[in-house]
Structure 1
Amino acid sequence: MITVLLVLHFFVAAALIGVVLLQRSEGGGLGIGSSQGMGNFMTGRGTANLLTRATGVLAAIFMALALALGLLNQGTGRQRSIFDAPPPSAAPGTAPAGAAGTAPAAPSLPALPPAPAVPTN
């Protein structure tokens, strides 16, 4: 069920992007939505009304699908965020370093030779 909704959500998002790009903006946009591209089928105003309504309908469907997917995933035992997962290096069932109340030992650094003296004038 969730997979079907995700695929439908993807197609609605792609259609919404396409319809928004077809609309004529004040700067001209792509210019595809003008009456010149439609031939004699629709006037410029009719095309603009159609694209505006299509945008509104697709946006409503997009929001409804997003809410439905959110509600369906709420009750599952799936991880909600990538931050909820343990780090990939930690094996399941083992405590991370420092979790037992002891701090991990700091790595020892090799001793550096003394800095050379800088002559002053």
Structure 2
Amino acid sequence: METVLIVIHLMVVLALVLVVLLQRSEGGALGIGGGGGGGMMTARGSANILTRATAALAVAFFATSIALAILARMDERPASILDAAPGTPTSGPAADGTSGSGNGILDQLRPQGGTQQDTQPAPSGPQVPAAE
């Protein structure tokens, strides 16, 4: 379904680019754009057909874009804390007040020889550099 919609979207994009490039420029600053040929593509007739085609292709472009966005969003499943396995801890402190299982990013960065509290006593007040 998504592949079919992408192919339709690309065909609409190419047709829209072609229709826009076929339109006669209004400014005429360089004197080009639009020629003298007759038949179906007269100045008034071609402007009316190309303007309507541009509007229709623009509507089709927005419709396929929105449909593709909705299809892409349907594939994603929202993450829920209720989907987690019952034995795995969630983020944050545990219910009993302990710090958790020790698998967090800060626990991975901690040196393997022990914590800083094990090797040095905790400072009791403001720290002042030692005098030399």
Same fold (TM over 0.5): yes
Q: Deviations over 1:30-65 (max 9, x none)?
A: 72xx3634x322421010000000000000000000
CA contact (8 A) 2:40 2:46 kept: no
Aligned-pair CA distance for 1:26? 2.1
TM-score (norm 2): 0.53
Aligned-pair CA distance for 1:77? 3.0
Q: Structure 2 CA distance, aligned partners of 1:46 and 1:77?
A: 47
TM-score (norm 1): 0.57
Q: Deviations over 1:54-96 (max 9, x none)?
A: 0000000000000111111111038xxxxxxxxxxxxxxxxxx
Higher relative contact order (CA 8 A, sep 6+): 2
Question: Which one has the largest radius of gyration?
Answer: 2
Q: Structure 2 CA distance, aligned partners of 1:3 and 1:53?
A: 28
Q: Structure 1 CA distance, aligned partners of 2:53 and 2:47?
A: 10
SS in 2 for 1:75: helix
SS in 2 for 1:41: coil
Q: Structure 2 CA distance, aligned partners of 1:71 and 1:49?
A: 33
> Number of aligned pairs?
82
Q: Structure 2 CA distance, aligned partners of 1:68 and 1:17?
A: 20
Aligned-pair CA distance for 1:103? 4.9
The residue aligned with 1:3 is 3
The residue aligned with 1:116 is none
CA contact (8 A) 1:35 1:42 kept: no
1:54 to 1:62, Cα distance in 2 relative to 1, 3 A: same
1:71 to 1:103, Cα distance in 2 relative to 1, 3 A: same
CA contact (8 A) 1:35 1:47 kept: no
Q: Structure 2 CA distance, aligned partners of 1:48 and 1:71?
A: 34
Identity percentage of aligned residues: 51
CA RMSD of aligned residues (A): 2.6
1:9 to 1:3, Cα distance in 2 relative to 1, 3 A: same
The residue aligned with 1:13 is 13
